């Protein structure tokens, strides 16, 4: 078993995770093989499916990306009203963060994004 690396997922670790994800590893297998939390493994799998390698490797994002009103509404509507999965809606609208996705859907469901 490896050491707990939650606070420092370097590029080599991320590349190893990507190789496992591409090979078809699921949440439990990925978490077990890399000694990472299952929740993180699940998020990385979703990110890979919606945003590809860049979503896992960082893609130069500093975490401060914001989405315009139209993107937020369209992504949330596609999921809530049109039946797209979380992964499909994130990929369609270029949302590369689970936190941003949760914010979009939450705001949509509360009706906050419907008023500018």
pLDDT tens over the chain, length 116 residues: 555 554 578 888 999 999 999 999 999 999 999 999 999 999 899 889 888 888 888 754 444 456 677 887 888 889 888 999 888 888 888 887 777 778 778 878 887 555 44
Residue found under tokens 């990507």: 18
In a domain, 80, yes or no: yes
Domain assignment present for 104: yes
Give pTM, 2 decimals: 0.58
- Say which residue the tokens 């978490």 belong to: 31
> Burial letters for 92-111: b for 16+ Cβ neighbours within 10 Å, e otherwise?
ebebbbbebbebbbebbeee
In sequence order, the 6+-apart residues with CB closer than 8 A to the CB of 90 are: 46, 50, 51, 75, 96, 101
Residue 106 to residue 16: CA distance in whole angstroms: 33
Q: Are residues 53 and 75 in the same domain?
A: no
Q: Is residue 21 part of a domain?
A: yes
- Size (the chain), residues: 116
Full residue range of the structural domain in which residue 90 is found? 69-114
Q: Report the alpha-carbon distance of residue 7 to residue 28 in Å, rounded.
A: 20
In this structure, is residue 2 part of a structural domain? Answer: no
Within a domain: residue 5? Answer: no
> Is residue 53 located within the same domain as residue 86?
no
Beta strands in the chain (DSSP E): none
> Is 64 part of a structural domain of the chain?
no
């Amino acid at each position: 078993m490896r050491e707990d690396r939650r606070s420092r997922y370097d590029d080599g670790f991320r590349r190893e995770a990507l190789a496992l994800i591409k090979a078809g590893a699921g949440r439990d297998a990925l978490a077990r093989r890399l000694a990472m939390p299952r929740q993180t493994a699940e998020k990385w799998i979703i990110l890979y499916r919606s945003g590809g390698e860049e979503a896992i490797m960082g893609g130069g994002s500093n975490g401060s990306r914001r989405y315009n009103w139209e993107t937020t509404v369209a992504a949330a509507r596609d999921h809530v009203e049109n039946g797209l999965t979380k992964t499909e809606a994130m990929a369609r609208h270029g949302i590369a963060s689970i936190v941003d996705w949760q914010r979009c859907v939450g705001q949509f469901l509360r009706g906050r994004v419907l008023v500018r």
